[in-house]
C-alpha cells in the first residue's frame, strides 16, 4: 500500500537490499531541479489461495430456510416464547467469560 503524500511507506515495505536504490530513485523523482523524473519500479502484488475447506466455509451457510421464516413470523406477531430470565442468565455467563 502506498502513501498518497510520500513514497516513504512504499520504500519501507520493500526488501532491505532494494531500499537504498529505491530511496535514490524516490529522491530523484521528487527533486524539483531534476529535468527528467525516474519512475519507481512497480510494486509486487500478493496472491492468496484458499484451501477447499476455507472455500466451503465462505459459501452461504446451509440452514432450514422454512424454519427461519416461521420463527421470524412468530417473533413479528408476538407469538414466539421468550424466557427473559434465561436470556439474562446467559448474558451474565458471557460477561463472566469475558472478564475472566
Place of cell 446451509: 62
> Domain segments of the chain: what residues?
52-99
Distance CA 84, CA 32 (A): 70
SS (H, E, C) 15-44: CHHHHHHHHHHHHHHHCCCCCCCCCCCCCC
Region of 86 on the Ramachandran plot (φ > 0 left; ψ -120 to 50 alpha; else beta): alpha
Distance CA 94, CA 89 (A): 9
Q: What is the pLDDT along the chain (100 residues), one digit of tens a residue?
A: 554 555 555 555 555 555 555 555 555 555 555 556 778 888 888 888 888 888 888 887 788 899 999 999 999 999 999 899 999 999 999 999 999 7
What pLDDT shows up at residue 85? 96
What pLDDT shows up at residue 52? 87
Amino acid at each position: 500500500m502506498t502513501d498518497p503524500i510520500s513514497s516513504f511507506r512504499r520504500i519501507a515495505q520493500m526488501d532491505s537490499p532494494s531500499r537504498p536504490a529505491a530511496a535514490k530513485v524516490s529522491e530523484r523523482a521528487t527533486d524539483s531541479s531534476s529535468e527528467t523524473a525516474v519512475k519507481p519500479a512497480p510494486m509486487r502484488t500478493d496472491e492468496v489461495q484458499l484451501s477447499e475447506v476455507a472455500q466451503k466455509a465462505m459459501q452461504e451457510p446451509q440452514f432450514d430456510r422454512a424454519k427461519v421464516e416461521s420463527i421470524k413470523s412468530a417473533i413479528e406477531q408476538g407469538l414466539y416464547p421468550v424466557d427473559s430470565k434465561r436470556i439474562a442468565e446467559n448474558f451474565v455467563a458471557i460477561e463472566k467469560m469475558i472478564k475472566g
